[in-house]
Each structure stands twice: as structure tokens, then as C-alpha cells.
């Protein structure tokens, strides 16, 4: 008698952003919509020494690691010998460049090599894009693409746009703390915008995600590391803010507002949302999409190369390396802007180049010196064109990245690899 349901254990990396996007939300949706096919358990902290528990599942789908990296070589073969299919999900390149804030930690802990080892040991790998899949195939040829998706029917994605200040078009960047070098690409265009009095009067810059949480690692005289809470003025978001305001030159007519911004406190400022620049603080996972309610145009810069020092002494030279970490990024910004019906201005590179039709579903920036400024000016001066781009993107994303369509791919993938496994077992017997 054929088994009625496939038992799946989903192990998210955390209960924050990536854990929800790549594991929890999708598993909950699949559990609800395909209950006749799957028996799904979500467990972020399973007991990795309890083989009876782990081997009770047909498929274990985990993000990056299943237990300590050091135990993979011993644990994975035991589970596979018991007939468990191991599927590893990964959404970011495992070896970031030296410009990434976590580079030193990742290098010190050898995390890149540990992730590569896991990739080589599992039966299947799931990832976000075809671009990333081609990289992974060099380590494991069994790769299946499950794109990101958002729950468009949830409250934060259904929330409506907040009215813009009269006569202004809001240009926003919505991202995380690791994007300093990407944002440097905007610096020249932000200066041009600040210098253009006519455009400045019609534009509001909105930076979303400002945060002062976190720690700073300091070393004592013996080289021992010590962590302490970050001080507000040390946050990387101040550097971001200086880029968007061109070192506050954009706000030269309002020194009182600049003074308030530099206090780095959350108390309200009268009519802040009528200023030429707005700082929006970080939001919780279940409300961060509301950032999009305060913008009309979304910016998505991505640096394509990074400089690396090679050699020592007089033979030292700077070599440009391809930015693989950015090259394999997912289309999440495309999806988010599309769901919220915003106009996307993105780098003519990687996933944006692959997914956006320039002049139809967004604008692709080819030249960083003036490209972002030119795109902003064109969209601010032509609201009809801006709305057409936003509507076109919305209609495409609504169809292409429906969470039920993407989850259909996930469910079919589970059934396919399970059936293939059972067929292999029959042949062996």
C-alpha cells in the first residue's frame, strides 16, 4: 500500500527574515494547501542527536546547516542510509567579499568551506535564481530553483500608500546594513539632485531601515576581543544618510532639521514627512513592507566589482574582482516593489538585468555617474510614465511570483524527489 503522505521536516536558519522567507512562511502555506500530500513539521531547534526523530521523516529541508557544521560528515550519511532525503536551501553566496561586514568573522571561522562541504554532502540544493544555481552546480549538480515570494494577502503587503507631500515624488531606498558599497554608487547622483533646485523641490528622499542596534568588537592590548553595545553615532546608517543627503547639503535650507537628525533620537519632528529627506527607522518583520507605503520610486543599486589588494611591499597592486555575492542575489526587491506597485530603478546587472525589461517594467541604470539622477529626474517629471512602469511591474510580479505558484513548484519538487528515491529503493531491493 502506497504511503499517503510525505513526511517533511523543515529546519529554518532562524525565526527572522530569511527563516521566514525561505522556510517558515512557505512551509505553513504548503501545510495548509497540500495537506493531502504532505505532513510538514517546522522545527528551528531539533535535537540533532535524536536519530529516531530525524529518521522518521522522508525529507529534511534545512537552510545552510543541519546541526553543527562539524557533525555533517557523520550525521548526513547516517540519515541518508536510513532513506532520508537531505535538501539544503541557500539564498546568499557563501563567500562574501572583503567589503562585507561579516567577512572577517566568516574567514576566521572557515564558514565558507563548511557551507561548501554541506553543499557537496546533501542530495539536493534549493536556491533562489538560475544565476545562483549555475554557481552551485559546480559543487552539486542536483539544484532546484524555488524563487522567493511574499504573502501578498497579508496585512503589511495589502496596506495602502500614504499620500505624498504636495508636489513631491518620493524616492526611497529600502535595505539592510551591509549595502554601504552599493550605496556609494548613488553619491554622484545625489549631489546632482541636491544641486538641481527645481528637481529638489519636487523630490523627497526616503531612507528606510535606520538602526542603532548591534555590537562593536574591540581588542585589548593582548589582542583579546571584547564586545560592547554600539553607540548611536557609530551606526553605519549615518554613513548611508550622508550619501542620500550629500552630507546634509540637500537640507541646507533647514539647519534645525539637520541638527535634530544628528541627535539620532526617535522622538518625532514636526512635519518630518514634508522635509526633503525622511529617515525611517527599522521595522519588525511583520510590518517592514509598510516602508513601501512611503515611496513612489525604489532604488536598487548593486556594485559589480570590488577592489582587492594582491601582494605585499613594493609589489602590491589593486585588482578588480567580480562581485559574486551581488551577482547571485535574489529578485526579492523586484517582487516587493511589484507587489506594492512601485516604480523600480535598478542596476543593469545580474538579477535585475535578467528580470526587468528596461523602459517597460522598470529602469535599468547603466552608468553610475549620472544614471541614477537621470532616471529619477525622468520619473519625477513624467508621472504617467512612472505609473505605467509601476503597473506593468505589478501585473507581471502578481502572476510570476504568486506565493501559491511558487509553493506549487516547491510541492511538486518534494513529490518528484520522493518518488525518485522510492524508485531507487525498489531497484536496489
DSSP 353-397: HHH--BTTTBEEE--TTTHHHHHHHHHHH-HHHHHHHHHHHHHHH
**In angstroms, how far apart are the furthest CA atoms of the chain?**
80
Ordered alpha helix ranges (H), 266-343: 324-327, 332-339
Question: What's the pLDDT tens digit per position in 257-304?
Answer: 999 999 998 878 988 999 999 999 999 988 999 999 999 999 999 999
- At 318 the pLDDT is 85
Give the chain's end-to-end CA distance (angstroms, integer): 17
- At 117 the pLDDT is 97
Q: Please choose, from the candidates 135, 201, 133, 211, the residue with its C-alpha nearest in 3D space to the C-alpha of residue 167.
A: 201
- At 1 the pLDDT is 40
Distance CA 213, CA 211 (A): 6
Q: Which residue has the cell 507605503?
A: 293
- At 401 the pLDDT is 95
Distance CA 57, CA 422 (A): 14
Quick count: other Cβ atoms within 10 Å of Cβ 91? Answer: 22
Ordered alpha helix ranges (H), 16-160: 17-19, 25-33, 51-54, 72-81, 103-109, 111-121, 130-136, 155-158
- List the chain residues with pLDDT less than 70: 1-3, 428-429
Strands 59-63 and 6-11: parallel
- At 3 the pLDDT is 58
What SS3 state is found at 205? Answer: strand
The 3-state DSSP composition of the chain as helix, strand, coil percent (nearest 5) reads: 45, 20, 35
- At 222 the pLDDT is 76
Domains of the chain plus CATH, in order, are 6-149+402-428 (3.40.50.2000), 155-400 (3.40.50.2000)
Amino acid at each position: 500500500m502506497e504511503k499517503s503522505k510525505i513526511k517533511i521536516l523543515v529546519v529554518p536558519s532562524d525565526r527572522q527574515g530569511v527563516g521566514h522567507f525561505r522556510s517558515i512562511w512557505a512551509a505553513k502555506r504548503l501545510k495548509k494547501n497540500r495537506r493531502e500530500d504532505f505532513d510538514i513539521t517546522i522545527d528551528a531547534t531539533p535535537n540533532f542527536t535524536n536519530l529516531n526523530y530525524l529518521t522518521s521523516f522522508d525529507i529534511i529541508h534545512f537552510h545552510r546547516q543541519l546541526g553543527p557544521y562539524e557533525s555533517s560528515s557523520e550525521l548526513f550519511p547516517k540519515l541518508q542510509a536510513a532513506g532520508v532525503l537531505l535538501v539544503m536551501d541557500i539564498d546568499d553566496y557563501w563567500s562574501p567579499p572583503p567589503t562585507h561586514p561579516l567577512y572577517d568573522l566568516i574567514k576566521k571561522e572557515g564558514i565558507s568551506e563548511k557551507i561548501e562541504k554541506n553543499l557537496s554532502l546533501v542530495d539536493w540544493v534549493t536556491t533562489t535564481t538560475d544565476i545562483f544555481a549555475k554557481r552551485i552546480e559546480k559543487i552539486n549538480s542536483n539544484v532546484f530553483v524555488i524563487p522567493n515570494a511574499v504573502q501578498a494577502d497579508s496585512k503589511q503587503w495589502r496596506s495602502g500608500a500614504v499620500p505624498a507631500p504636495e508636489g513631491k515624488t518620493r524616492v526611497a531606498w529600502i535595505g539592510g546594513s551591509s549595502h554601504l558599497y552599493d550605496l556609494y554608487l548613488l553619491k554622484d547622483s545625489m549631489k546632482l539632485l541636491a544641486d538641481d533646485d527645481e528637481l529638489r523641490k519636487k523630490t523627497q528622499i526616503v531612507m528606510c531601515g535606520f538602526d542603532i542596534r548591534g555590537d562593536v568588537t574591540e581588542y585589548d592590548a593582548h589582542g583579546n576581543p571584547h564586545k560592547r553595545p554600539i553607540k548611536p553615532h557609530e551606526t553605519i546608517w549615518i554613513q548611508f544618510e550622508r550619501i542620500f543627503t550629500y552630507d546634509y547639503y540637500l537640507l541646507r535650507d533647514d539647519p534645525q532639521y539637520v541638527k535634530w537628525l544628528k541627535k539620532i533620537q526617535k522622538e518625532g519632528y514636526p512635519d518630518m514627512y514634508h522635509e526633503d529627506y525622511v529617515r525611517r527607522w527599522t521595522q519588525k518583520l511583520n510590518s517592514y513592507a509598510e516602508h513601501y507605503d512611503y515611496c513612489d520610486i525604489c532604488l536598487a543599486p548593486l556594485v559589480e566589482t570590488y577592489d582587492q589588494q594582491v601582494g605585499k611591499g613594493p609589489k602590491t597592486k589593486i585588482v578588480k574582482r567580480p562581485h559574486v555575492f551581488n551577482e547571485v542575489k535574489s529578485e526579492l526587491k523586484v517582487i516587493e516593489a511589484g507587489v506594492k506597485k512601485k516604480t523600480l530603478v535598478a542596476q543593469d546587472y545580474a538579477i535585475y538585468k535578467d528580470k526587468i525589461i528596461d523602459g517597460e517594467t522598470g529602469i535599468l541604470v547603466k552608468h553610475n555617474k549620472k544614471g541614477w539622477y537621470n532616471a529619477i529626474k525622468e520619473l519625477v517629471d513624467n508621472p504617467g510614465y512612472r505609473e505605467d512602469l509601476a503597473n506593468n511591474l505589478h501585473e507581471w510580479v502578481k502572476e510570476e511570483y504568486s506565493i501559491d505558484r511558487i509553493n506549487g513548484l516547491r510541492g511538486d519538487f518534494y513529490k518528484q524527489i520522493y518518488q525518485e528515491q522510492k524508485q531507487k529503493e525498489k531497484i536496489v531491493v
